[in-house]
Amino acid sequence: MDRDVQPRRSLFRLPSSLPNLWDEMEDKMNRWMGWEADTGISISEDDSNVYVEAHLPGLKSDEIDISFYQNAVWIKGEKKQEEDYKDRKFYKRSKTSYFYQIDIPTQVEESTEQACFKDGVLTITFKKNPRLQARKIALSDSSEQKTV
Predicted local confidence at residue 26, as pLDDT: 63
Predicted local confidence at residue 49, as pLDDT: 93
pLDDT over 90 (residue 17): no
Average pLDDT, the chain: 77
Architecture of domain 49-81+95-131: Sandwich (2.60)
Predicted local confidence at residue 68, as pLDDT: 93
Q: Taking Cα atoms as reference points, which of 80, 62, 76, 78 lies closest to residue 117?
A: 62
Q: Where are the domains of the chain?
A: 49-81+95-131
pLDDT over 80 (residue 142): no
- 12, HSE (Cβ side, Cα atoms, 13 Å): 3
Q: How far apart are CA 139 and CA 122, in angstroms?
A: 42
Q: Using one digit for the tens of pLDDT, what is the confidence trace for 30-69? A: 666 655 545 688 999 998 999 999 998 888 999 999 999 9
Q: Taking Cα atoms as reference points, which of 5, 147, 125 lies closest to residue 68?
A: 125
Predicted local confidence at residue 46, as pLDDT: 92
SS3 category, 102: strand
Q: Using one digit for the tens of pLDDT, what is the confidence trace for 67-112? A: 999 889 999 988 876 667 778 877 666 677 888 888 998 889 888 8
Predicted local confidence at residue 121, as pLDDT: 94
Give the confidence band of 21 by pLDDT, cuts at 50, 70, 90.
low
Q: How far apart are CA 82 and CA 51, in angstroms?
A: 32
